[in-house]
A and B are shown apart, each in its own frame.
Chain A
Amino acid sequence: MLNRWMTIAILFAAAMGMAFAQKPDPAQRVRAAYQAESRVSLSGVMRTTSTVQATEISSEVVVYRKAGMTRYEYRSPELRGLVLIDKGDTLIRLDPATRTATVETVHRSPATVDLVLKNYRAELSGQERLLGRQTDVITLKPQQRSGPTRKLWIDRATGVVLRTEQYNSSGKLVSRSFYSSVDWKASPPDSLFTVPEGWRQVVAPVQTERHWEKEDLSRRLGFTIREPGYVPPGFVLDGFHLVVRPNAQPSAHIRYVDGLNSISIFEHRCPPGRGRGFQWGRRMGRRGNCEFFTSNEGNVLVKEVGGIRFIVVGDLPENELQKVIDTLR
């Protein structure tokens, strides 16, 4: 009798064990996807759709991947043959109309997959077959009350993300990309990841990657940079950067990241014509002076105090941005 129950118990445990063995660990799948980005070589065709300024833009993209480098060829007529080559530390933009290659150093974010998994819950939403392959559908949901959501279709065999859907903190789909075909055996030539011969090569004027020390940047810009007294939980400081734009004041850029989301705080001198007179008293007044913009990509909150304009950008609810900007004075 005991033997029979024990046998049943063992078989049951074994069955459960097998069931669990087949169910992937969502966090582990996410890590696999992160690592696959730099390891897997392939070529394929993607379809990507994004909402930019309330307009939907779709494009077919031919993708080549090799040794951590990726080449994206945009086939949509609106994008006029744009090619982006991501070499990890640099991003090269090829514009066929002018045969110009613009080289920009890629910003090295301190956000790692660990930070993602700390601030986002990885859930297994399902398992689907894409392009004849088994994928695990993992949804990354914010641990905090609100934030963006990302859905990844991760190839079981290689960890390559075959489909991505991105939702903003209001739950709206802002972009979607998926492979419509993949050649897993491809080994793209190195020439695909370099500037074509005879092309003009320019360095992008806006080198946003450089990390500055706060004091040096303050000196460069001519005012003391303020750091916010509050950032939403989960966000860490990425760094201080300099933004130089044509026909505009140079700006400090303080960036915070939580793995999938980011907050940017821009600070610059108010444009000319916004002087302070002889300044009897310095407050802006009881009513303050905040303006607010919103779009699919994020919300923007602008405030001017003491001759400095603060602009907070992020895919966060307005009241969270307000809390951040209120601590900037």
Chain B
Amino acid sequence: MPCFEKDNQLVERARAGDVDAFGELYQHTHRRIYQYIRQMVPTTGDAEDLMQEVYLRAWSGLKQLQANEAFWVWLHRIARNAVLDWRKRKQVSTVSLESTFTDDEDGETEPVEVADWSENPEQIALSEAMQEAVRSLPENHREVVTMYYLEDMGISEVAKVLGVPKNTVLSRLARARETLRRKLGYLVDAK
């Protein structure tokens, strides 16, 4: 969890033009923001570009940040909006498809995924199937799964970022679990 009190001081300094203070805010937040962006766009190259855009927007928009508003939530909203804008620009469908990956810009094929032999074959199958299954979730479910599991956010935080009630977040999480359970089938069945 980010340390909000310390963040407030950093925000004040960053607002006054202190790039180093902004850099510390970056340090506190960049891992989680990256998880979010990474799950919402196809390639790491896109994710890196978007990361830059998000933090630049944050830097120029600091003056708009309300005194009582948590930096983290505000930043995450910027990230979300940046993703939506990016999608509009690229005209990428917001309905996720259960399709295979496209080649990256250079036209090279993706490196071959490696199997995890250290665990038993069932674990391998489960882990790979889980990744496939999450990728194929509808946007709003995948979003919540990313924020809750990969970014380690609490339900209230997720709700604030999305601007929806907590129960909506819980409901999406529940639906996501159902979908994943259905897709994974026997792999998650109890022994």
Contacts and interface: CB of A to CB of B under 8 A. Distances in A.
| A and B from one complex | yes
Interface of A: 218-219, 221-224, 277-287, 305-308, 329
A277 B38 contact: yes
Contacts of B38: 277, 280
Contact of B39 (A219, A278, A283, A285): A278
B113 interface: yes
B45 interface: yes
Nearest to B142: A278
Nearest to B41: A280
B50 to A, nearest CB: 12
Nearest to B110: A282
Contact of B118 (A222, A285, A286, A306): A222
Contact of A329 (B111, B119, B131, B150): B111
A314 B7 CA distance: 46
A277 B35 contact: yes
Contacts of B116: 222-223
Contact of A224 (B105, B114, B118, B119): B114
B117 interface: yes
Interface string B154-178: 0000000000000000000000000
B43 interface: yes
B44 interface: yes
Given A223-B115, A223-B117, A279 B42 contact: no
Interface string B101-113: 1001110101111
B180 to A, nearest CB: 11
A306 B39 contact: no
A284 B105 CA distance: 13
Main secondary structure on chain B at its contact with chain A? loop
Contacts of A285: 43-45, 47-48
Contact of B44 (A222, A281, A307): A281
A308 B105 contact: no
Given A284-B44, A305-B111, A306-B113, A278 B150 contact: yes
A307 to B, nearest CB: 7
Nearest to B119: A222
Interface of B: 35, 38-45, 47-48, 101, 104-106, 108, 110-119, 130-131, 134-135, 142, 146, 150
Contacts of A307: 114
B113 A280 contact: no
Contact of B101 (A221, A278, A282): A282
Nearest to A329: B111
Nearest to A278: B134
A306 B44 contact: no
6 contacts: A223-B117, A277-B150, A278-B131, A278-B150, A282-B111, A329-B111
B117 A281 contact: no
B101 A224 contact: no
A285 B112 CA distance: 15
A219 B121 CA distance: 12
Contacts of A329: 111
B137 to A, nearest CB: 9
B114 A278 contact: no
Contacts of B39: 277-278, 280
A278 B44 contact: no
Contacts of B117: 218-219, 221-223
A223 to B, nearest CB: 4
Given A222-B118, A306-B113, A283 B44 contact: yes
B101 to A, nearest CB: 6
Contacts of A286: 45, 104-106
Contacts of A282: 101, 110-111, 113
B42 to A, nearest CB: 5
A306 B114 contact: yes
Contacts of B146: 278
Contacts of A221: 117-118
Given A278-B134, A278-B135, A283 B114 contact: no
Nearest to B106: A286
B129 to A, nearest CB: 12
Among B44, B110, B115, find the residue whose CB has the most chain A CB atoms closer than 10 A.
Answer: B44
Given A278-B131, A280-B135, A282-B101, 14 more contacts: A221-B117, A223-B114, A223-B115, A224-B115, A277-B35, A278-B146, A280-B41, A281-B43, A281-B104, A281-B110, A283-B104, A285-B45, A286-B104, A306-B114
